[in-house]
Amino acid sequence: MESKEEIRSARRLQRRNRTPEQIAAAGEALARHGVSWAKDVSGGSPATFTVYLGVAFEPPTLPLIEALHQEGHRILLPVCEPGRTMSWVEWTPETTFVRSSYAPIDEPEGERLTSAVAGADAAGIFMPATAVDGDGNRIGQGGGYYDRFLQGLKDSAQRPRTIAVTYDDDVLPSGAIPAEAFDQPVTEVLTPSGIVRLGR
């Protein structure tokens, strides 16, 4: 079995082969399917969702963020903090971004909420992934931020639904990704082709 780092490197290399047109089309499709998922999660009512800003060759999520906002949902975006923890900032169309001091991502400027508050408020969590296998094992960017965030919500009375965001070919067969004790598996994946529900 390949290591997580080997899989992560291979998926990143594959992503670099996409054209700007393919990336833009993926963003539109992710927004369409993501809004549908959010409607199911929220029962059609306005709700809070945590999302992230996909950059470079990641699946583009800005169209999803904008579409969720247009549907009346509240959007929280992550900010990396020391100790591989996260805080959250509410997104609006006027939100500005700066480069993170701790991770290779752009982060929103604004009042920060703790992960505990964000987790309690959120109906659903859209989370980054470079790959997910059929067992729900997920490879993120390597920092462990989301695994720690989800671990902190594990004992919550009402844990938000989670969905990983990937390209279609980032969904791998069962057993492809080595699982570690601290990993937080997912049961759903948002891809440009639609929602993939895994067998857990």
The ranges assigned to domains in the chain are 4-197
Binding site as annotated, residues for ATP: 4-8, 138-146
| pLDDT at residue 64 is higher than 90 | yes
Does 4-197 carry CATH code 3.40.50.300? no
Which residues lie across from 90 on neighbouring strands?
76
- Could you give the CA distance from residue 172 to residue 150 in angstroms, rounded to a whole number? 22
What is the model's pLDDT at position 180? 79
Binding site as annotated, residues for substrate: 53, 58
The model's pTM: 0.92
Strand boundaries in 18-145, DSSP class E: 48-50, 74-81, 85-91, 97-99, 106-108, 113-114, 122-128, 131-133, 138-139
Contacts of 151 (CB under 8 A, 6+ apart): 182, 184
How does residue 157 score in pLDDT terms, banded at 50, 70 and 90?
A: low
Binding site as annotated, residues: 4-8, 53, 58, 138-146
